[in-house]
Amino acid sequence: SVGEMLEHPHSLARDMVIEVDHARLGSVRSLGMPVKLSSLEKSELKTGAPVLGQHTGEVLSEFGYSQEEISEFVKDNVVFSSP
């Protein structure tokens, strides 16, 4: 289980258990990058997985939609955006 993985001595020794900031949960323990290559710098995750709709506005803006259009999409349930 994930809980066992977070406590397993091998996971801890390999620095696979990390703390990340999550939009709703705050600081949470998670599994880090499982692949460790000595020739590469240590990979560090800064945030946890996004919540549903967290980046909807940003993504649509990058595709050229205006704030007004995005608001209409949300209002008309075309897309979901978390508050």
Across the chain, which has 83 residues, the per-10-residue mean pLDDT values are 89 85 87 74 71 94 97 96 86
Distance CA 33, CA 68 (A): 39
Question: Alpha carbon 69 to chain centroid distance?
Answer: 26
User: Looking at residue 57, what is its pLDDT?
Assistant: 96
Q: How many CB atoms lie within 10 A of CB 9?
A: 7
Domain boundaries, the chain: 1-34, 50-83
User: Looking at residue 79, what is its pLDDT?
Assistant: 97
Instruction: Provide the token pair at 55.
Output: 């980046």
User: Looking at residue 52, what is its pLDDT?
Assistant: 93
Q: Is the pTM of this model over 0.95?
A: no
Q: What count of residues does the chain have?
A: 83
